Structure 1
Amino acid sequence: MAVLSRRSFVTGGVAAGALGLLGLAGCASPAPTKAADSQDAGKADESNAASSGQGSSAQATASDKPWEVAPEPIAEADIAQTVESDVVIVGLGASGTYAATSAIENGLSVTVLERNETFNANGGSHFVFNSKPQLELDKAIDPVVAVKDFLNISSYRVDGSAVWTWANRSGEAADWFADVVEPYGLHPVLQHSDNVVIERIYPGTIIFIGGENEPTSAIDQDPYNGDLGLGFVPEIDLLAALLQHIQSKGADVRFKHTSQQLVRESDGRVSAVIATDGDGAYTKFVAKKGVVIATGSYSQDAAMLDYFCPIVSHNPVGDQVAQFNMGDGSGIKQSLWVGGVMQHNGDHPPMMFWGSTNCIKNVMVNSEGVRFIDENAGQSNFAAAQFNQTGGTMVALWNAEYASQLPAISYRADDPSWAATPEELLAKWEGLVEQGIFMKADSLDEIASAYDLPADALKKTVEDYNGYCAAGEDLEFHKDPATLHELTGPFFATKYDVPASLACMGGLHVNARSQVLTADDEPIEGLYAIGLAAGDFYANQYSTRFAGNSLGRCMTFGYLVGRQLAGLE
């Protein structure tokens, strides 16, 4: 009997988004330095010396905070060439692509450095406030209610001005990008906003469809299909269109170029990025207006992960938590070396999803065979609850009738035909049984044996649950009576392994204008950070009540930083 494990989860995710589900970074850490290795290397010039971490906490020891220890500055003599543009963007994931598009559309010359061979795409859901697709379906969000909810979730340990900037400008940003990609056949639609009972989400999640990766089957996108694959990744089509667009406008996009150090002048301004090409040669990329760090998270730096996101490394299941984001914090580190600091809130929440976005949610039990939560809880809450169960695992139980009891949910709010039928759900489930991912059983004893559950406890749990269904009241977890469905055999069942962390939601200390700040809360002139490299936006948990808020934030601040550098904000 196969188990939905970390391995199968990762495999499914990579298969679904192989074009860069992993690797959100455009720079390296620490810098491999020809200058440091050369015995007769010339002394770096004054501005390059500043790139070693003037004003930063670079004096930290390697055993203390090694990510703050700057390498020796790259010598001017080792730089093969210098390239100048208005803006240099490090990283071509979502944030970097959005920033490049905004900057070039607003009249700036743009250079983008990406260490991989192509852009990095992940997911595709953007949570924004009151964009045209939302308003056209009469799904307006009250920002006052939603933002206060967001801030309460974070215990207000975030930059409220930045959260309000997202709320006030995200719809505008989404509509602007919709106009940019319309000639490429893409358009935004609202994503299953009626999924209130199960997910408890605000109706602000949009996806851009119309590209080559758009799905052809509703069942693959249904939130109850049970498949651990991530479905289609619409961000691939969106970023591909934007990349084509900015290159047609003259953007200098350098793939296989890895940022090594930032250059901070003696007057405190960050003026350039020094990067290596595929052959290891150094180029200095001078930014007349500003450098934008868009290199993603630090999830793959073990020391940073342990220090800033301890729930991932210090938890009941040890190192079994899969890390989807392959960012190593290199852009963050290079910003620290020139005087930036990390966000003040030192406990960064993971973007942690339990098992999959498409888990079955009828009856869920832990390894002791008992329920532990209202199964209607949202993804982020479910992950937190699962994490606190023995072994971090859980088993779902349901039956064939559940396919007809579920609400029909289209992944597109504008087109109900994209809801899977009960027949399609059953066929999907049967296929997963054949693959050994699900099991079918005539008795609870069979399930208990397959998943090493105490049979008596499991049978009592189901007996109690069926009693709640008959009475119309869940006396344990007060699940919505409308979603209480009697559980009788034959049964479907599956085991979900520990949650997976998609990214660590913390980064550099920035203000609402995306400027990187010093320990004294002073902006470093010429240095900006957006996306997962930027902090001060999340605390406690990444809440899926605002499904896709990470990409929504990326889109909003990418749009705004381009305008700011062009002098429009």
Structure 2
Amino acid sequence: MSNRREFLKGAAAGAFGVMGAGFAGSASAAAVKFDKEADVIVVGLGGAGAATAITAADNGASVIVIERQPKDTLRSNTRMSGGIFHCPDKTGDRKALKEYAKAMFSGENIPGKLEGEQPEVSDGLAQAWADYTPGLLDWMKSLDPKFQAFATPGFKGAAFPNFPGAKECGYQVYKASYPDRIRPMHKSTWGQPKEETMHGEAFWQCLATGVENRKDKIAVDYETRGRKLVQNDKGEVIGVIAEKGGKTVAYKARKAVVLCSGGYEYSKTMRQAFLEGPGVEGWAFYGTIYNEGDGIRMGLDAGAGMMKAGKAASRIIFPAPVRHNGMRLGIITPAVGSGHAIVVNQMGRRYAAEHKVTKDPSRYFFYKEAVKFNIDTLDYANSPSWFIFDETLRKQKPLVDLSISTPGYKFLDWGAPDNSDAVKKGWILKADTIEELGKKIAEQKDNSGRMDPKVLAETVKRYNELCAKGEDTDFGRLKTTLQPVADGPFYAIPLVAGGPNTKGGLAANAKREVLDWDLKPIPGLYAVGEIASALKFVYQGGGNLTECLVFGQICGKEVAKLPNRA
């Protein structure tokens, strides 16, 4: 089909006739009058949805993408990210690359560490990673030759150097950009001309260019929220029921439906069901507020199984006193681990080397420290933790990343880069002495009097002594970060488990076919991205953007070659 009008023909004008009220369960094909149709229906226009749609179109399929957000203010996790993705050296050992990928996905090739993806699917996933990741930068440049990416020292190489294959696979990590270098900055490039964008915004603009250049094959329906899947009498998924402007719209998929709608960060009930520890108050996320588990709900209603539903790419971050769906919005907090600061538990004691919060390889599973349950006291002593810092750090740099995440995309306003506005708003506690700061922490609802100001003062004193000696003999903190907490006034913010996104979700294989509880494919149903992340054992920064590209390409090719379904 040569143009958009042709591949959308057959739509029933004015028909919003889905029989039955509500959106619970999957819909029977016999009860649905379809309003629009295409070969492939993609639910969600983030990195996964874009890569899938582009590849399906390039392989001859017509595509409709339905996206719940408005076009002009679209803010996905892809766009709000740091724009980091993996692209190993093409001269690296591909067998070693597969082994490294399998170690990250499942741990099954590391003695005693099997914990992630099931072995039934992990080998195919790892092979796909080895086949596609070395070509990702080339693929992005094929979408837009102006796109650039740069290797950066902070993210160079394999984050897990002792994993099988790490030394031989030539692992490399890049940051996305349109300018000829990654410029340091404290503001977002969201809304700027494409040529000035960096980080996740640049990554997204490249994919958006690819979608726009295929508008004869890819239609995007914005402000349209997928609600349930349509199955025929064989159990095949043949469409999606969506909601737009208070009305229902039925989309027929001649070949397949691909769910790319992200995780469940802002679904209260899913967080309570799946996340460790206090799933609501003990967590925050700094990605988009629109990830409410829609695709997971739809998949489960159609008979999908799940894999590692409680997994998340998370550390400990600042939960802002701004809420959506009753849950606090998180902010990426890269200052944790800096000098002139420590992290303490609810009682005022250090419990780990602070650099582990924000540095590889621990930064995307440090949240495990926050959800440790004390079987004697029956509480979570590290949730929230408290980031204690002095005036030197307060003036030195923003505690949070203002260029990406929730501040960079206007979900909340942190204010001035010197953190002074956050102090004025009360987001940061301030006191003239450490003891006074401890008292203020004890008065917070999240602490409920557990903080002992004297213990906190002793902790700071001990830390400062270690700084003077030049070695953290208590926890092994990096020597380069050993600067004392000594320049008053003093400050504190809470830190809870959280990060960019959840990772566990629908069960899916390497083709991205969604699987039922017996690991059998549900015909016509696929999933790509955070809704069914492959990175369920450990996570290296940039992994989610990488899997969007890898499995979006694989899935796009798979669904395009499917026969039409009756």
Same fold (TM over 0.5): yes
Shift of 1:514: 0.4
C-alpha distance in 1 between matches for 2:459 and 2:265 = 38
% identical equivalent positions: 22
Within-5 A mapping of 1:420-435: 428=418
SS of alignment partner, residue 350 of structure 2: coil
SS of alignment partner, residue 28 of structure 2: coil
Higher relative contact order (CA 8 A, sep 6+): 1
Pairing 1:311–2:277 present: yes
Q: 1:447 matched to which residue of 2? A: 437
Q: 1:321 matched to which residue of 2? A: 283
C-alpha distance in 2 between matches for 1:347 and 1:429 = 33
- More helix by percentage: 1
Q: Is contact 1:186-1:238 (8 Å) kept?
A: yes
Pairing 1:331–2:295 present: yes
Pairing 1:389–2:381 present: yes
Q: 2:141 matched to which residue of 1? A: 178
Shift of 1:433: 5.3
The 1:488–1:366 alpha-carbon spacing in structure 2 relative to 1, beyond 3 Å, is: same
C-alpha distance in 1 between matches for 2:229 and 2:393 = 60
Given residue 20 of structure 2, which amino acid in structure 1 is its aligned partner? Answer: A
C-alpha distance in 1 between matches for 2:223 and 2:306 = 27
Pairing 1:157–2:113 present: no
Provide the TM-score with structure 1 as the length reference: 0.68
SS of alignment partner, residue 193 of structure 1: helix
Q: Is contact 1:367-1:395 (8 Å) kept?
A: no
Q: Is contact 1:200-1:377 (8 Å) kept?
A: no
C-alpha distance in 2 between matches for 1:486 and 1:269 = 63
Provide the TM-score with structure 2 as the length reference: 0.68
Shift of 1:112: 1.3
Q: Is contact 2:17-2:33 (8 Å) kept?
A: no
Q: 2:12 matched to which residue of 1? A: none
C-alpha distance in 1 between matches for 2:526 and 2:456 = 54
Provide, for residues 145-191 of structure 1, a one-character-per-residue CA deviation record: whole Å limited to 9, x for no partner. 57535644974331422245335422323420232122xx4322234
Pairing 1:169–2:132 present: yes
Q: Is contact 2:429-2:493 (8 Å) kept?
A: no
C-alpha distance in 1 between matches for 2:474 and 2:491 = 22
Q: 2:54 matched to which residue of 1? A: 101
Shift of 1:144: 4.2
Q: Is contact 1:36-1:74 (8 Å) kept?
A: no
Shift of 1:478: 1.7
Q: 1:79 matched to which residue of 2? A: 33
- More strand by percentage: 2
Aligned length: 460
Q: Is contact 1:178-1:188 (8 Å) kept?
A: no
C-alpha distance in 2 between matches for 1:549 and 1:393 = 27
C-alpha distance in 2 between matches for 1:82 and 1:483 = 58
Structure 1 unaligned blocks of 5 or more = 1-31, 39-66, 222-229, 412-425
Structure 2 unaligned blocks of 5 or more = 1-15, 189-197, 319-331, 358-362, 372-379, 404-415, 443-450
Q: Is contact 2:533-2:547 (8 Å) kept?
A: no
Q: 1:376 matched to which residue of 2? A: 355
Aligned match for 2:468, one of 467, 470, 478: 470
Shift of 1:389: 2.8
After the TM superposition, which of the residue ranges 518-527 and 260-269 deviates more from structure 2? 260-269
Pairing 1:549–2:533 present: no
Q: 1:364 matched to which residue of 2? A: 343
After the TM superposition, which of the residue ranges 199-208 and 275-284 deviates more from structure 2? 199-208
Pairing 1:241–2:209 present: yes
Q: Is contact 2:243-2:249 (8 Å) kept?
A: yes
SS of alignment partner, residue 488 of structure 1: coil
Q: 1:209 matched to which residue of 2? A: 177
Q: 1:20 matched to which residue of 2? A: none
Shift of 1:99: 0.7
Q: Is contact 1:438-1:494 (8 Å) kept?
A: yes
Within-5 A mapping of 1:118-267: 118=71, 119-122=74-77, 123-125=80-82, 128-131=85-88, 144-145=99-100, 147-148=102-103, 151-152=106-107, 155-159=114-118, 160-161=122-123, 162-182=125-145, 185-193=146-154, 204-210=172-178, 217-219=184-186, 233-247=201-215, 249-267=216-234
Shift of 1:450: 4.2
C-alpha distance in 2 between matches for 1:195 and 1:457 = 39
C-alpha distance in 2 between matches for 1:259 and 1:440 = 45
C-alpha distance in 2 between matches for 1:116 and 1:172 = 31
SS of alignment partner, residue 563 of structure 1: helix
Shift of 1:497: 4.0
Q: Is contact 1:365-1:396 (8 Å) kept?
A: yes
C-alpha distance in 2 between matches for 1:218 and 1:335 = 40
Alignment RMSD = 4.3
Provide, for residues 428-454 of structure 1, a one-character-per-residue CA deviation record: whole Å limited to 9, x for no partner. 356765666557766434433443453
Q: 1:522 matched to which residue of 2? A: 520
C-alpha distance in 2 between matches for 1:558 and 1:352 = 27
SS of alignment partner, residue 306 of structure 2: coil
C-alpha distance in 2 between matches for 1:484 and 1:157 = 35
Pairing 1:561–2:555 present: yes
Q: 1:224 matched to which residue of 2? A: none
C-alpha distance in 2 between matches for 1:231 and 1:429 = 23
Q: Is contact 2:147-2:178 (8 Å) kept?
A: yes
Within-5 A mapping of 1:395-544: 395-398=387-390, 400=392, 428=418, 443-452=433-442, 453-490=451-488, 492-500=490-498, 502-534=500-532, 537-539=535-537, 543=539
SS of alignment partner, residue 555 of structure 1: helix
Q: Is contact 2:313-2:503 (8 Å) kept?
A: yes
